[in-house]
């Protein structure tokens, strides 16, 4: 049995009718055959859908590419693990002996999987509406960080201001590829910022490609906060 499930349910702001679902969501595959892998699969799908719907509403002018990048930045492993840590999910996990000894309670992959499993369990226990409410509550801060108050400024300007506010070096843009005829060229640009993975963008002009790459980089950086 998991310890003090009432405290975790309080943090989730959701009380389970069937606490066996909660226990299963917190059971790693190393601890037994009745584990959280299937719940993780379910929770991952629901999480992606809820976040996609919220981004669609919040950014009515955003194109598919930008929405996809924003969603990816929110539901990536590190982001989920960060939320799981804030809920102290690691304290409740049931792990096999090997995983316990190797520090599985603090591993991002295990924490992120457990969070998705918890969401899947909430869906099965209470339905879509409370699961959606829980997701939006857990991701409220990260969603707000994407709500750019300088929406009228272009992505390159916003990225520059973001980096300057953190006293970081400005980005470097590099042309990776130019293809197509002179009258219909396509540019692929890399945006590099010290300390993070480079982002890439594409467009019908160098400026468009740089803006696309900057927007991708900005989404990546804001999601890490």
- Please write the tens of the pLDDT for every residue from 104-129: 788 899 999 999 999 999 999 999 99
- Report how far residue 179's alpha carbon sits from residue 174's, in angstroms, rounded to the nearest whole number: 15
Q: What is the mean pLDDT of the segment spanning 193-222?
A: 91
pLDDT in the model for residue 96: 87
Entry pTM: 0.67
pLDDT bracket for residue 12 (50, 70, 90): very high
pLDDT tens digits for 130-178?
A: 999 999 999 999 888 876 443 446 889 889 988 998 899 999 999 999 9
Angle at 204 between CA 203 and CA 205, to 5 degrees: 90
- Residue span(s) of the chain under CATH 1.10.1520.10 come to 5-146
Q: Is the pLDDT of residue 58 over 60?
A: yes
Residue 106, CA atoms < 13 Å, CB-side half-sphere: 3
pLDDT in the model for residue 225: 61
pLDDT in the model for residue 152: 42
- Report how far residue 204's alpha carbon sits from residue 21's, in angstroms, rounded to the nearest whole number: 51
- Report how far residue 32's alpha carbon sits from residue 11's, in angstroms, rounded to the nearest whole number: 26
pLDDT in the model for residue 149: 40
pLDDT tens digits for 13-30?
A: 999 999 999 999 999 989
User: Quick one: CATH architecture of 155-223?
Assistant: 2-Layer Sandwich (3.30)
Question: Which class would CATH give 5-146?
Answer: mainly alpha
- Report how far residue 24's alpha carbon sits from residue 96's, in angstroms, rounded to the nearest whole number: 14
pLDDT tens digits for 65-118?
A: 778 878 888 898 889 999 999 999 988 998 888 888 888 788 899 999 999 999
- Report how far residue 157's alpha carbon sits from residue 130's, in angstroms, rounded to the nearest whole number: 39
Residue 116: both structure tokens together = 């998705």
Residue numbers annotated as active site: 44, 116
pLDDT in the model for residue 224: 67
Beta strand 172-179 with 199-203 is unpaired
pLDDT in the model for residue 192: 96
């Amino acid at each position: 049995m998991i310890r003090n499930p009432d405290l975790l349910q309080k943090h989730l702001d959701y009380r389970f009718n069937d606490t066996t679902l909660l226990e299963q969501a917190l059971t790693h595959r190393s601890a037994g055959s009745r584990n959280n892998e299937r719940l993780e699969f379910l929770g991952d799908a629901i999480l992606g859908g809820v976040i996609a719907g919220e981004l669609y509403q919040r950014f009515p002018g955003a194109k598919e590419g930008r929405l996809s990048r924003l969603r990816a930045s929110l539901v990536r492993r590190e982001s989920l693990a960060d939320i799981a840590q804030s809920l102290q999910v690691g304290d409740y996990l049931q792990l096999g002996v090997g995983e316990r000894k190797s520090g599985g309670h603090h591993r991002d992959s295990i924490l992120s999987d457990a969070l998705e499993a918890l969401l899947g369990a909430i869906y099965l226990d209470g339905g879509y509406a409370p699961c959606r409410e829980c997701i939006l509550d857990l991701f409220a801060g990260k969603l707000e960080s994407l709500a750019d108050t300088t929406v009228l400024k272009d992505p390159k300007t916003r990225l520059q201001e973001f980096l300057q506010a953190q006293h970081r070096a400005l980005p470097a843009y590099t042309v990776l590829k130019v293809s197509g005829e002179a009258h219909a060229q396509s540019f692929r640009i890399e945006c590099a910022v010290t300390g993070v993975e480079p982002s890439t963008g594409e467009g019908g002009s160098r400026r468009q490609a740089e803006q696309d790459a900057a927007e991708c980089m900005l989404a990546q950086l804001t999601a890490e906060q």
